[in-house]
Amino acid sequence: MLKQISITDFLPLMPGIPLADVRTPAEFAQGHVPGAFNLPLFSNEERVLVGTTYKQVGREEAILLGFDLTGPKWSGFIKQALAIAPAKKIAVHCWRGGMRSGAMAWALNLYGFEVHVITGGYKRYRQWAHRQFEQPYQLQVLGGMTGSGKTRLLHQLTTLGEQVIDLEHLAQHQGSAYGSMNKLEQPTQEQFENNLATALSKQNPTQTIWVEDESLTIGRRSIPKPLWVQMRGAPLIDIHVGLSQRVTSLVAEYGGLDKDFLVECTQRIHKRLGPEQTKHAIAALNENRMEDFIRLVLVYYDKTYRTGLSVRQASQVYPLPLQGCDDLANAQQLQQFQKTLPLTAQQPTNGNTSL
């Protein structure tokens, strides 16, 4: 059975009904629906051949070439689909819901699959994703100087039942010159947006959604502008944590990283850090004085944070001192403090730099 279905109607059915993306591996790698499987009708090279034939010769010749290229592969497609959807219920899409998804849907239906075909294909999904960024959300921004433990507090808020969007996790970057942690690999911009849209769609927009204060970019990925504008206009709780506690936290987090990586990252920010500060910071690294290195670099990051805070509307910034290292207790204090904010600060509205 074949059934046309919109992406909006289909997404709630995942993962009960697996989604097969029949675009090429290159297209899939650039960006795909989170949770989808790649079942490419053409290889990257084959798609180029078919496209060139379509433009230079015509539609009918391109279709014949497509059949020539895929002819020996149809049993393989069905076997892959069975591995993905053993219950023989599956959804398929290509770029615009055209010939590629139509051909795959026809073959799977012939074999006995119940096939949902996504109308408009991946292009329609991307339109859905962009709409998620334009929805009004009741954001609560969590700010604080580098090393204040904001990410840990967000994780604790999740355990307390709060809605949280972890932007740095989605971007696979800690948000600073050192943010790759010498191991994290960022998704493409397109995939970052897809993952973020999915995360937002799972939240209740009428309830508080916590996010960390971020600049427009996290590493090389950009927060979609409509959402970032909402973040800048949302109330911000500015947590205050003592310098010694922040240094201890950062030494624990970054102290085990490769020294050459830390030196290279420090050199990349030498213009902002200043020549003397950069020289002393690198010397501290080479002499295994990690605490001194952290203190030197924090001069820059603390200044950057204060500058960002100064351009926010003062009436929307709420300072909160936190004591001790118990993240759960601090998250509970944060949760209770947020409930005391004026109602006007908790209504939907249409960054921080961490080490």
User: Is the pLDDT assigned to residue 150 strictly greater than 70?
Assistant: yes
> What digits encode the pLDDT tens for the residues 252-291?
999 999 999 999 999 999 999 999 999 999 999 999 999 9
Please indicate, yes or no, if residue 203 is contained in any of the structural domains: yes
Give the whole-angstrom CA distance, residue 346 versus residue 344.
5
Q: Are residues 83 and 204 in the same domain?
A: no
Which of residues 100, 129, 158 is at a domain's end? 129
Pair of tokens at residue 286:
């080479």
> 273 and 222 in contact (C-beta within 8 Å)?
no
Task: From 205, 165, 160, select the one nearest 337 (Cα to Cα).
Answer: 160
Q: Are residues 122 and 166 in the same domain?
A: no
Q: Distance between alpha carbon 65 and the CA centroid of its chain, in Å?
A: 38
Active-site position among 36, 39, 92, 94:
94
Q: Are residues 117 and 182 in the same domain?
A: no
Q: Are residues 24 and 54 in the same domain?
A: yes
Q: Are residues 110 and 169 in the same domain?
A: no
Q: Are residues 306 and 172 in the same domain?
A: yes
> What digits encode the pLDDT tens for the residues 169-212?
999 999 899 999 999 999 999 999 999 999 999 999 999 999 99
Give the model's pLDDT for residue 350. 47
Q: Is 94 a catalytic residue?
A: yes
Q: Are residues 144 and 47 in the same domain?
A: no
Q: Are residues 164 and 300 in the same domain?
A: yes
Backbone angles phi, psi at 4, to 5 degrees: -80, 135
Give the model's pLDDT for residue 324. 87
Please indicate, yes or no, if residue 351 is contained in any of the structural domains: no
Please indicate, yes or no, if residue 352 is contained in any of the structural domains: no
Please indicate, yes or no, if residue 353 is contained in any of the structural domains: no
Q: Give the chain's domain count.
A: 2
Quickly tell me which residue has 């990690």 as its tokens.
290
Q: Are residues 234 and 270 in the same domain?
A: yes
Give the model's pLDDT for residue 351. 43
The CATH number assigned to the domain holding 10 equals 3.40.250.10
Q: Are residues 54 and 193 in the same domain?
A: no
Quickly tell me which residue has 């592969």 as its tokens.
73
Residues 6+ apart with CB under 8 A from 23: 38, 40, 41, 94, 95, 100, 122
Beta-bridge partners for 211: 141, 165
Instruction: Report, as an integer, the average pLDDT of 286-297.
Output: 96
User: Is the pLDDT assigned to residue 346 strictly greater than 90?
Assistant: no
Range of the domain at 21: 2-129
> What digits encode the pLDDT tens for the residues 306-345?
999 999 999 999 999 998 899 999 999 999 999 999 865 5
Buried b (16+ CB within 10 A) or exposed e, 283-318: ebbeeeebebbbbbbbebbbebbeebbeebeeebbb
User: Is the pLDDT assigned to residue 33 strictly greater than 70?
Assistant: yes
Give the model's pLDDT for residue 305. 95
Beta-bridge partners for 165: 211
Which of residues 84, 108, 129 is at a domain's end? 129
> What digits encode the pLDDT tens for the residues 225-239?
999 999 999 999 999
If 0-12 CB within 10 Å is exposed, 13-18 middle and 19+ buried, where does residue 122 land? Answer: buried
Which of residues 129, 146, 169 is at a domain's end? 129
